[in-house]
Amino acid sequence: MGQRPGDLSAPARLAGPDEGIGADELALATRNHGLPLEALRHDVTPPGLHYVLTHYDIPYVPDAGAWRLTVDGHVRTPLDLSLADLLSFPQVTTRVTLECAGNGRALLTPRPVSQPWLVEAVGTADWTGVPLRRLLAEAGADPAAVDVVFTGADHGVERGVEQDYQRALPLSVATGDDPQVLVATAMNGAPLPPQHGRPLRLIVPGWYGMAQVKWLRSVTVGDVPFTGFQQSVAYRIRRTPDEEGEPVTRIAPRALLVPPGFPDFMSRTRVVRPGPVRLSGRAWSGQAPVSSVEVSTDGGAHWEPAVLDPVVDGHRWAWRAWHHTWTATPGEHAVGTRASDADGHVQPLDQHWNRGGLANNAVCFVRVVCVADACWP
C-alpha cells in the first residue's frame, strides 16, 4: 500500500501543561510573520510590515497577464476574466484592517497547536478592486442561490484532507454593500505582492482573515451550503472536538498598544523613565464601530478612558488611533488597553477558550519597568 496524503497530517491537538512551542509551530511562525507592534503608529501599514498568513505555499505567478478568474455555477452567463477585463470595471478603494482569526492563540491555556500568534496578526491597507456584487450582477447570479464559493490557486493537505484553499460567503454577504466585498487587484496603490495574493484576492471588510481568499481563481455560485474543510471543519468555535461549533465571521473588538519606551532584546520588557509617558495605539472591531478605548497601568484593577481619534475620511473599516498620557512612577507596571464597540461588545479580561484558538480578543498586558536613570554595566 502506498502512502496517502491523509497519512501525512497529525490530528489537531492541544499542547500539554508545560509544553513549549514545538519545531512544527516554529516552522509556521517563521513563514507567517506578524506586524511589529511599533508599526501600529502608521495609519496604513508600510509594505512588508503587514502580517502574513498562508496555509500552504505562495503560488508562483510570473505572468499576471495570463491569470484568469472564472465566475460560474448558478449564473445566467459564466464569466472568464483576465486582469485587464477586471480593470475595465469601475474600481473602488477601501481602507481595511485585516486580522487573523487565530490572533491571540498562543496566549491561551491550554494552547491549541497551530500557527502560534501572540497579538500581532493584524495590518491595515488600502485595497483597490472591483465590487464583487458588480461581477455577480454581470454574470446574473441566481437570486435563490445560497453560498458563493471562492477558490484560491494554492493547494495542500490539512488534517488528512487534500484541498485547494476554499471559503464561502452567504449570497447576501457576497452581494451586500455593508460591507462591500472587493475582488482586489492592488494593495496600497501597487499590484498585490506575492504573499498577499498576486494578482487577485477577495477583501471582505470587517471579517476575520480566513474569508479574504488570496490568489483567487474562481467564484462559484451554489444552491446548497458550502461544506468544505475551511468552512465546516476549520474556523469554527468549538470547546469539544465533536460539536458542530459556531462559524467564525466578523472581527471582535481589540485595542493594541504601541509598546512604550524601549525594549529589552530577549524578554521584550519595556523600559520607560519616570514622568509623563504618551501611550498610543489602535483599536478596531468588525462587528460595530469602536466606541471607546480604556487604559490600565495596574494589570486591569483600574481603567481610565483614552482619547479616541475620529474616523479618518470615512475609513470605517480601518483601525482608529487612540492616545493617553500616563505619569509613570519607578517600579513595575502591567499596561493594557481594551476596546468597546457601539453594539456593546467589550474586550474580555478572561480568555474565551476554544479548541481552534479562534477569535481570542482577551486583553493582554505589557510588562513595563520604570527606572530613573540609565545605569549600564
Ligand X SMILES: Nc1nc2c(c(=O)[nH]1)N[C@H]1C(S)=C(S)[C@@H](COP(=O)(O)O)O[C@H]1N2
**Whether 317 contacts 178, CB under 8 Å:** no
CB of 188 to ligand X, least distance (A): 12
Round to whole Å and give the CA distance between 189 and 266.
36
Q: Is 79 within 8 Å of 138 (Cβ atoms)? A: yes
Could you tell me which of 297, 31, 249 has the C-alpha nearest to residue 154? Answer: 31
- Take residue 329 and report the three cell numbers written for it: 512612577
What is residue 76's DSSP assignment? Answer: S
**DSSP 8-state symbol, 133:** H
Residue 290 site contact among ligand X, Mo ion, none (CB < 5 to 8 Å, cut-off depends on kind): none
Q: Does 53 bind ligand X (CB under 6 A)?
A: yes
Task: Closer to Mo ion by CB, 104 or 259: give it.
Answer: 104
CA distances from 308 to 48, 224, 294 (A): 27, 43, 9
Distance CA 97, CA 286 (A): 9
213 binds ligand X (CB under 6 A): yes
Q: Does residue 294 interact with ligand X by CB under 6 A?
A: no
Contact track, ligand X, 79-118, x by CB under 6 A: -------------------x-x------------------
**C-beta of 28 vs 257, nearer to ligand X:** 28
Distance CA 102, CA 117 (A): 7
Burial of 316 (0-12, 13-18, 19+ CB in 10 A): middle
Q: Out of 212, 218, 285, 347, point to the residue binding ligand X (CB under 6 A).
A: 212
State in angstroms the smallest separation of the CB of 90 from ligand X.
24
Q: Cell 447570479 appears where?
A: 141
**Binding-residue total with ligand X (CB under 6 A):** 19
Q: Which residue has the cell 454574470?
A: 139
50 scored as a contact of ligand X (CB under 6 A): yes
- Helix spans in the chain (H): 23-31, 83-87, 132-139, 171-174, 229-232
Amino acid letter, residue 99: E
Give the shortest CB-246-to-Mo ion separation in angstroms: 17
Which residues, 27 to 86, sit near Mo ion by CB under 5 A? Answer: 53
Q: How far is the CB of 266 from ligand X (least distance, A)?
A: 27
- Interface map 138-177 toward ligand X (x if CB under 6 A): --------------x-x----------x------------
CA 195 to chain centre: 14
Amino acid in the structure at residue 71:
V
Binding range to ligand X, per CB under 6 A, among 137-145, 210-218, 274-282, 313-321? 210-218
359 binds ligand X (CB under 6 A): no
Q: Binders of ligand X among 216-275, rule CB under 6 A? A: none
Cell of 161: 484532507
Select 5 or 331, whichever has its Cβ closest to ligand X: 5
Q: Which three cell numbers stand for residue 308?
A: 479616541
CB of residue 356 to ligand X, shortest distance in Å: 11
Q: 169 vs 213, which CB is nearer to ligand X?
A: 213
Is residue 145 a contact residue for Mo ion (CB under 5 A)? no
100 binds Mo ion (CB under 5 A): yes
CA distances 118 to 20, 182, 359, 363, Å, are 14, 29, 12, 12
Q: Nearer to ligand X by C-beta: 99 or 294?
A: 99
Among Mo ion, ligand X, none, what binds residue 104 when CB lies within 5 to 8 Å by partner kind?
none
What residues line the site for ligand X (CB under 6 A)?
Answer: 50-55, 98, 100, 152, 154, 165, 195-196, 209-210, 212-215
What residues line the site for Mo ion (CB under 5 A)?
Answer: 53, 100, 209
